[in-house]
Structure 1
Amino acid sequence: MDRKERIDDPLASMRSVLAGHQAGVWTALPGIIQAYVDNPPRVTVQPSIKAQVRGTDGAVASVALPLLTDCPVQFPAGGDCTLTFPVAEGDECLIVFASRCIDGWWQSGGVQEQAEMRMHDLSDGFALLGFRSVPRALSGVSTTSAQLRSDDGSTYFDLNPIAQTVKIVAPGGFEVVAPTQKFTASGSVEVDSPQSTFSGAVTVKGLFTFLAGLVGSATSGAAATITGAINFIGSLTSNGKRIDDGHTHAGVEPGPGSTGPVN
């Protein structure tokens, strides 16, 4: 007779008791989000691993675990700052089960009494986002930089600690809304755009140089066009000639006529 089948074997009996106890202890399970509810952020999750249940006839059947409702969602956060994501139905996650009942804390915050004396229960799950199975694994993950990216990799914010660079790729557009904006470059700033529009006053400190030519020129860029009044404070030079109110013309006698071109 197999030692495991002997009912008088204390070790086998102990193992059977422990296995039965472990079957009711829940620690963590992968799951699929079925619904997301905001304020407060919580999800309904379908556990992705089935349970083995023994029926009254002694047969073992594989059954889906029940939906886990009102699982708090974990977003990376700290110091009054939070990184959020648009949680969607079908997203995969990891459900981590608290060792004690979380109802009191969830409803009131702070340090609370246990509403129930349950332990490692399916009712006390937290949803951790970002875990993925192989069919939904990300491709093209950068091995040299940190990225905030879309799943398809077409849109991303890239921070490279080795090159000490930050790159933003946004095919749909990039928008900054702020009452003041400041860009500081120790080298240079280059804007490559077929059309640039500035609304409001423009102030230039230091040398302002136009490099412009005829449209379609093989050696020059497109013509620079400024619509509206231009107010220069300081000297103004064009092609090496000073043309502000401080320039003079040689060989001109006072009279009612106009001068010729600047020499």
Structure 2
Amino acid sequence: MIDPLEWVSIALGGLQSKLWTALPGIIQSFDASAMACVVQPAIQALVRDESGALTSVDLPLLLDCPAQFPAGGGCTLTFPVKPGDECLVVFSSRCIDAWWQSGGIQAQAELRMHDLSDGFALLGFRSQPRVIGAISTTSAQLRSDDGSTFIEVSPDGPVAITAPGGLTINADVTVIGQVHTTGDLVSGTVSVQHHTHPDAQGGNTGEPNA
């Protein structure tokens, strides 16, 4: 005869197996216009076959997972989301369908709880084979994964920009303070280092002295 406490443990385990909290996942596709992605859970489920043996099977694709970008106060930090990116899917404790469609405060469209249908994709989590190298331990960086391009802010140093591909500013620029450059400065077609001026003799003044 099975102990009643064992029956309770079995029942609770069955309920717990249907309660989804969070899972690592792999992005399959991203809809930028909807800010939503399709995610393949990266942890398999165990299914018992007719013989009683347990088999690992892929969980179904998670559709229309809202993707999280850091945001607040009318400003948002966005970045491209590509298939193969890893993420953490967090499951709402209640159905999100009505909120997802209309925003604001909504009634529950269905009474499901902790369901695979109600996932949010939090981007940036990485498994060990996909960790990025050269993480700065002294400054904040907005960077490419390979570390070749970055904007760096540190508590005791200047803001640094490293961009092998160049830097384009599409705006009027006001500088309060001095500008130092180790290379030439060109305005239109006029070089600061190599420009000349006509002189009274019909020649030119020559290039500026260093």
> Normalization by structure 2: what TM-score?
0.89
Residue type at the aligned position of 1:181: V
Q: Report the aligned-residue RMSD.
A: 2.2
AA aligned opposite 1:73: A
Cα distance in 2 for partners of 1:91, 1:81 equals 24
Q: Distance in 1 between matches of 2:83 and 2:34?
A: 17
Find the partner of 1:198 among 178, 187, 197.
187
For residue 183 of structure 1, what is the amino acid of its counterpart?
A: V
Q: Does 1:183 align with 2:153?
A: no
User: Residue deviations 1:192-222, cap 9 Å, x none?
Assistant: 21x4321399xxxxxxxx9xxxxxxxxxxx6
The Cα of 1:227 is off from its aligned counterpart by 6.0
1:65 aligns with 2:45: no
CA displacement at 1:60 relative to structure 2: 1.5
* AA aligned opposite 2:158: T
User: Equivalent residue for 2:163?
Assistant: 170
SS state at 1:132 partner? coil
> What is the CA-CA distance between 1:20 and the residue it aligns to?
0.3
| Equivalent residue number for residue 29 of structure 2 | 35
For residues 62 and 82 of structure 1, the distance between their equivalents in structure 2, rounded to whole angstroms, comes to 39
Q: How does 1:1-263 map to 2 (within 5 A)?
A: 6-7=1-2, 9-161=3-155, 163-178=156-171, 180-185=172-177, 188-193=178-183, 195-199=184-188, 224-226=194-196
1:181 shift after superposition: 1.3
Q: Which amino acid aligns with 1:197?
A: V
How far 1:118 moved relative to its partner? 0.1
Distance 1:88 1:121 in 2: 25
- Give, in angstroms, the shift of residue 61 of structure 1: 1.2
Residue 152 of structure 1: how far off its partner (Å): 0.4
SS of structure 1 residue aligned to 2:137: coil
- Larger-gyration structure (1/2): 1
Structure 2 portions without partners, runs of 5+: 199-207
CA distance in 2: counterparts of 1:76 and 1:164, whole angstroms: 25
Deviation at 1:191, TM superposition (A): 1.4
Q: Which amino acid is 1:225 matched to?
A: H
> Which protein, 1 or 2, shows the higher relative CO under an 8 Å CA cutoff with sep ≥ 6?
2
Matched residue of 2:12: which SS?
Answer: helix
Name stretches of at least 5 consecutive residues in structure 1 with no aligned partner: 1-5, 202-209, 211-221, 229-237, 240-263
C-alpha distance in structure 1 between counterparts of 2:44 and 2:119, whole Å: 17
CA–CA separation in structure 2 for the residues paired with 1:38 and 1:149:
21
Deviation at 1:184, TM superposition (A): 1.5
Structure 1's 198 and 107: CA in aligned 2 closer, same or farther, altered over 3 A? Answer: same
Letter in 2 for 1:68: L
4+ aligned runs moved over 2 Å, structure 1? 55-59
